[in-house]
Amino acid sequence: MQEPAITPDLIAAHGLKPDEYDMILEIIGREPTFTELGIFSAMWNEHCSYKSSKKWLRTLPTSGPQVICGPGENAGVVDIGDGQAVVFKMESHNHPSYIEPYQGAATGVGGILRDVFTMGARPIASMNALSFGEPGHHKTRQLVNGVVEGIGGYGNCFGVPCVGGEVRFHPAYNGNCLVNAFAAGLADSDKIFYSAASGVGMPVVYLGAKTGRDGVGGATMASAEFDDTIEEKRPTVQVGDPFTEKRLMEATLELMQTGAVISIQDMGAAGLTCSAVEMGDKGGLGVRLDLENVPQREENMTAYEMMLSESQERMLMVLKPELEAEARAVFEKWDLDFAIVGETIAEDRFLIVHNGEIKADLVLSKLSSTAPEYDRPWVATTEAEELAEVPQIDPIDGLRALLASPNYAGKQWVYEQYDTMVMADTARTPGLGAGMVRVHGTDKALAFTSDVTPRYVRANPVEGGKQAVAEAYRNLTAVGANPLATTDNLNFGNPEKPEIMGQFVGAIQGIGEAVAALDMPIVSGNVSLYNETDGQAILPTPTIGAVGLLNHTDDIIGNEVREGHVALVIGETNGHLGQSALLAEVFNREDGDAPHVDLDAEKRNGDFIRANREMIKACTDLGDGGLALAAFELAESAGVGVHLDEASTEFLFGEDQARYLVACNFDQAEALMIAAGQTGVPLVSVGRFTGESVRVGGSEASLEDLAATFRNSFAEAVA
């Protein structure tokens, strides 16, 4: 088959700028072959090389006594004691999900699960963070339904519980939805598997499903803005098969018990190219691949297609040759492909041979380590103008407006489509705060949360970045968990625009400050840039996924609100309404600054909650919607009314940080007040849980009436 000539148009179609192509010519000293051009395109695109973000990612705190493995592997690994580790990561599948919602979201789930079990961990929990355009936009309903169905379709068949997540709507996502997938697994801390190849002449083995033409060029597509050619990109979206993935996981975990695995890598973005290059580069070795041995499900596939296919449910490993028979037997038992497709070599070469013909011969280390790295120009986000006056409103009217918005209504319609109880270890299902999973066979539990408020990040990237981490810290604390570590999924627009790059830099600064102050290092993550359509960027959305540990399930702070419980607010209330949910939903305004995050206060107040958990019957952090929304949600979940003492708009709907709402008995409230006085923690009684209504000052509505709005608004908007 005649390979196409390398033209400026072909180079541009591969996402390479003219100066980047000149760098390639300098590195290899000749014009690349078509396959080599594809390989460079895959390894040097934004999605794989992090060329715009590397400089800033290096500033993030990534270590701590609890960290076994930080960023750079398939997933992060954190010690949870007793010889066990939690392995977790969050990753985006934004562009594919906009083009093909079901498969885009489904393969996002499949990819993140592979990242976890490739490390030797059995997945125990998943979450997802979803951002869509306005509910009334012509594409939103189709996207929401397709994405939720795809996540449920893959996760439910694979058999991992979905324990949490978030869903938001904003016009900025009209042309570019976000699908961020999180997975966590359990492993023995001395049995973690890494991707660095070692040993010369070792077999490189292809494992799993066959290679097809789906997803060719997917990573390059994910590193570009959208425009009116979006439909042409549909073939770049992969197709997933959760049942094959389930078999692949069982076979992989069984294979790891044989001792045959030297190194192993998931075939994700850029498929065979990226996995082989990463294994060789980390091990300081070269790799030779013989593509005629690659299991193929389509006829006459070219070297280019095989190297860039992103067909799902595939792995690459370096094998101990003396254990080949045992390893092969495992994969044949699970009815999966096992094929030796190459070997490690001493020279620093990436040699691709197809039917005896050399299709690519490149210096392997140059493919990843010399990918261009940019110090993009950036400008700091302009300081937000002072908030114009916000009129006082009837508290029940304000609360009803929030409950009627799909942003703040109950998300049952979403999570009831997911299996939240499979494996029988789920200790708290989605719907109120962090999700929780018992650590099977022990008294321990792990808590999981995903958080960011994009409005805050746009107004003030530094404070918004801090707030995403602080809210994750509070959500874990509110269930009694000790926050351990974080993973980030940094979703932004075009980094070549200085103002977008400024948002990224500011958010990284805020995240870095917060994870350091709260002892929650970043151990894994993903950057997703170029989330724009026709020049319109998404809101800056640096999602933070966080994991916390409970040493005993008795330490869980329950959700046991009862008639007569006192409502206490821990933390200082100043009534900050800038960028608040109330402002957006009631007044259609997005002005003012993001709330300031006092990290010392966050730490102090969180430590106070955990130290006094025995006196607390229920707890939730105060975030979007302030006290009014938090009090309603606690009341609604327990089926008991709530009466709040103060009716001012600032007090009820302000979004000051470092605050929690606590429910407890009267005598426990007194004891908490004494403890707070001794530790300098602000604590005030704000009302009590009683009756069958929500009453604030002279305004009142039945709990049942408000609950109906809360439970039905989401489905009415999107179903």
Extended strands (E) in 155-222 = 162-169, 178-188, 203-208
- The yes-or-no answer on residue 440 being catalytic is no
Cα-based angle 599, 482, 506 (whole degrees, multiple of 5): 35
Residue 449: closest CA among 430, 426, 464, 425: 430
Contact status, residue 225 vs residue 118, Cβ threshold 8 Å: no
336 is written with which tokens? 């999966």
Residues 6+ apart with CB under 8 A from 533: 174, 175, 176, 225, 226, 227, 230
Contact status, residue 202 vs residue 343, Cβ threshold 8 Å: yes
Question: What one-character DSSP code corresponds to residue 588?
Answer: -
Residues 6+ apart with CB under 8 A from 712: 409
The structure tokens 């000293």 sit at 29
Residue 369: closest CA among 36, 23, 44: 44
Torsion-angle region of residue 217: left (phi > 0), alpha (psi -120 to 50) or beta?
left
The structure tokens 């299991």 sit at 295
192 φ/ψ angles, rounded to the nearest 5 degrees: -90, 140
Distances (CA, A) of 405 to 43, 392, 492, 581, 702: 42, 20, 25, 10, 19
Active-site choice (14, 93, 95, 565): 93
Question: What one-character DSSP code corresponds to residue 567?
Answer: E
CA distance 213 to 193: 29
CA distance 427 to 474: 18
Burial 78-100 (b: 16+ CB within 10 A, else e): bbbeeebbbbbbbbbbbbbbbbb
CA distance 707 to 195: 50
AA letter at 692: E
Extended strands (E) in 394-500 = 426-428, 435-438, 445-451, 482-491
The DSSP-derived string for 595-626 is: PP--HHHHHHHHHHHHHTGGG-SEEEE--TTH
Pairing of strands 286-290, 178-188: unpaired
Cα-based angle 158, 163, 167 (whole degrees, multiple of 5): 105
Query: In angstroms, how far is the first alpha carbon of the chain from the final one?
Result: 48
549 is written with which tokens? 């540990």
- The yes-or-no answer on residue 596 being catalytic is no
Cα 365 to chain centroid distance, Å, stands at 29
Residues 6+ apart with CB under 8 A from 56: 504, 505, 508
Residue 568: closest CA among 630, 637, 506: 630
The DSSP-derived string for 491-541 is: E-S-TTSHHHHHHHHHHHHHHHHHHHHTT--EEEEEEE---EETTEEPPPE
Pairing of strands 122-132, 162-169: parallel
Active-site choice (47, 170, 565, 643): 47
Contact status, residue 376 vs residue 495, Cβ threshold 8 Å: yes
- With 0-12 / 13-18 / 19 or more C-beta atoms within 10 angstroms meaning exposed / middle / buried, residue 383 is exposed
CA distance 334 to 336: 6
- Catalytic residue annotation: 47, 93
